[in-house]
């Protein structure tokens, strides 16, 4: 199940539940924390992908031994 399959009604329900749980005063703080967390995750994932060097396949040596 992907995020795209939730749809607008599902997002509205999720937002209402979050609003009820955290209240209107804490909601901006929660949103900022989530945004910072996602940005850090994307940065880390990008750094990991850049650090990985492509590995060349090993050469297969033909041997006459059977």
Give the separation between CA 1 and CA 4, rounded to whole angstroms.
Answer: 8
Residue 61 has pLDDT above 80, yes or no: no
Residue 62 belongs to some domain of the structure: no
Residue 63 has pLDDT above 80, yes or no: no
Q: What is the pTM of this model?
A: 0.50
Residue 35 belongs to some domain of the structure: yes
What does pLDDT average to over the chain? 80
Range of the domain at 42: 25-50
User: Structurally, how many domains does the chain consist of?
Assistant: 1
- For the segment 3-27, what is each residue's pLDDT rounded down to a tens digit? 567 788 888 898 889 889 888 888 8
């Amino acid at each position: 199940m992907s995020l795209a399959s939730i749809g607008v009604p599902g997002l509205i329900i999720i937002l209402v539940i979050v609003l009820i749980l955290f209240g209107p005063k804490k909601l901006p703080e929660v949103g900022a924390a989530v945004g910072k967390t996602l940005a850090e995750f994307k940065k880390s994932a990008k750094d990991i992908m850049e650090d990985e060097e492509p590995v060349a396949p090993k050469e297969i040596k033909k041997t006459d031994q059977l």
